[in-house]
């Protein structure tokens, strides 16, 4: 389907509701169900669920064998198995800040230096809180 610039997607198409830009991110599978990487007796998986349902009313979680590869500086290649989360939000700076702050907190809890995130067509690293 080809979209023409003259179509106002929000106004002209019935039954087609804009819910914002999609953010996708990956977290290590082996840490999601361990309470030691959560807080207040919750696992990281519980925390992601509670945060997204409270703040965004919906999210997608894909259990998969997605492998991530990166190099620490000029050292050895690191590989881990990840799970993918997706959430959509409107172009609202407050929602974006809340999302980034939460992911930064989760970096600390998961003992990760950063979480790889794509928002729209851009890629980012969200670093842990200082």
Taking only the tens place, the pLDDT of each residue in 13-67 is 778 888 888 999 999 999 999 999 999 999 999 999 999 999 999 999 999 888 8
109 lies in a domain? yes
13 lies in a domain? no
Distance CA 125, CA 25 (A): 10
CATH number of the domain to which 80 belongs: 3.30.70.120
Looking at per-residue pLDDT, the higher value among 72 and 36 belongs to 36
Distance CA 28, CA 31 (A): 6
Structural domain that includes position 69? 19-127
Task: List, for residues 94-103, the tens digit of each pLDDT value.
Answer: 899 999 999 9
Q: How many CA atoms lie within 13 A of 96 on its CB side?
A: 13
- From the centroid of its chain, how far is CA 43? 16
11 lies in a domain? no
Alpha helix segments (H runs only) across 1-130: 9-12, 44-55, 93-110
Number of domains the chain contains: 1
Predicted structure pTM score:
0.84
Name the residue among 60, 59, 62 with its Cα closest to residue 82.
62
Give the tokens for residue 57.
């009313």
Using the CB atoms, write b or e for 65-88: b if 16+ within 10 Å.
eeeeeeeeeeeeeeebebbebebb
Residue 1 pLDDT > 50: no
36 lies in a domain? yes
Give the tokens for residue 30.
């082996």
């Amino acid at each position: 389907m080809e979209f023409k610039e003259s179509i106002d997607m929000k106004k002209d198409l019935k039954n087609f509701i804009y819910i914002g830009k999609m953010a996708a991110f990956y977290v290590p599978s082996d840490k999601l169900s361990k309470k030691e990487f959560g807080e207040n007796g919750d696992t990281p998986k519980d925390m992601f669920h509670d945060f997204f349902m409270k703040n965004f009313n919906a999210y997608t979680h894909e259990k998969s064998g997605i492998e991530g590869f990166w190099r620490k500086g000029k050292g050895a290649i690191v590989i881990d198995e990840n799970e993918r989360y997706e959430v959509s939000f409107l172009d609202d700076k407050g929602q974006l800040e809340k999302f980034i702050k939460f992911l930064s907190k989760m970096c600390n809890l998961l003992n990760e230096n950063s979480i790889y995130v794509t928002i729209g067509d851009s890629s980012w690293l969200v670093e842990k809180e200082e």
